[in-house]
Amino acid sequence: MEDSLHSNFFQNSSIHDNEFCTIFFEAAKKLFDFEKERNAEELNRYYGNFHKHFNIYFGIRVNPGHPDYDSETVKLLKDSLYYRIIYVLRNSPILSSAVAFHFQNVLKEDFSYLRKLIKKEKIKICSIGGGAATDVVAVVKILDSLANKMDKRLDFEITIIDLDANWKNTCFTVLSFLKDFDDATSKINFVQADISDKNSYSAEVIKSIQEADVVLMVMLLYDFKNTNIDAKETVKVSHFSHNSYQFFFTVTSNGQN
């Protein structure tokens, strides 16, 4: 009986890619109306410079072979709103789709934890190195889809921990296009912190990790690899996180998971 319930529960619960595309397209348009001709020209001009300095895959790793590697030009490109717009449009739908696929498979393997999550009044999710909250979108969509099968309505408390405060508005804008955040019952927090320095974690950072039901480190380990930081020695999340579900998703240079 339990096995039958488990196998049937996940049928037709996948999220179609066009749902992710719609969320991120609308979020990017709200951040910067690129449908206006002048704005589109500016974004296209920026993309030309962007493409010269960054690897094509995921657009986040600076091309070390370029003569301007680590230059002020690269810094200015990454600090630009255009950089975040391009990330949201080009990378986020693909990454959300992949995270959703793997996260659902993880829940299939641990059905008891899914039951535990669904019973909570509010599910707390902590995304470390959150960027555009791409991982959060995937997890929320999957949990919502499964909760609907049990006639449950979920509330969420999301905490994004990121060193770059420029992503704050992007995170809030992206998450505003999820139906869960169209009222006051769900909550979003953004904490600016350097997660690579384990000795400087604030009380707020530690509390956010400790209290989370799901801890996400989707792109963090990939970023650490690019900067030659030993993630195992740096991020001691397991020291703080006692009861949460920790989800890792990394992308190698050849695009394999």
CA torsion through residues 52, 54, 57, 60, sign: negative
Distance CA 122, CA 120 (A): 5
Contact 43, 34 (CB under 8 A): yes
Distance CA 147, CA 13 (A): 10
Would strands 123-128 and 156-162 be described as parallel, antiparallel, or unpaired?
A: parallel
Per-residue pLDDT of the chain (257 residues; tens, 9 = 90+): 344 455 566 665 567 889 999 999 999 999 998 888 898 899 888 888 877 776 544 445 555 666 656 667 777 888 889 989 988 998 899 999 999 998 988 888 888 888 888 888 899 999 988 789 999 999 999 999 888 888 888 999 999 999 889 999 999 999 999 987 766 568 899 999 887 777 778 899 889 988 899 988 876 765 555 555 555 555 555 556 556 566 555 444 333 34
pTM: 0.83
Contact 180, 186 (CB under 8 A): yes
Q: Taking the C-alpha atoms of 201, 195, 157 and 183 in order, what is their torsion angle to the nearest 10 degrees?
A: 120
Contact 97, 20 (CB under 8 A): yes
List, in order of start, the domains of the chain with CATH numbers.
1-248 (3.40.50)
Give the list of residues 6+ apart from residue 84 with CB closer than 8 angstroms, or none: 31, 132, 166, 167, 170
- Counting Cβ atoms within 10 Å, is residue 18 exposed (0-12), middle (13-18) or buried (19+)? exposed
Would strands 187-192 and 245-248 be described as parallel, antiparallel, or unpaired?
A: unpaired
What separation in angstroms does the CA of 219 have from each of 6, 61, 94, 224? 30, 11, 13, 9
Contact 115, 147 (CB under 8 A): no
What separation in angstroms does the CA of 84 have from each of 28, 32, 242? 8, 10, 33
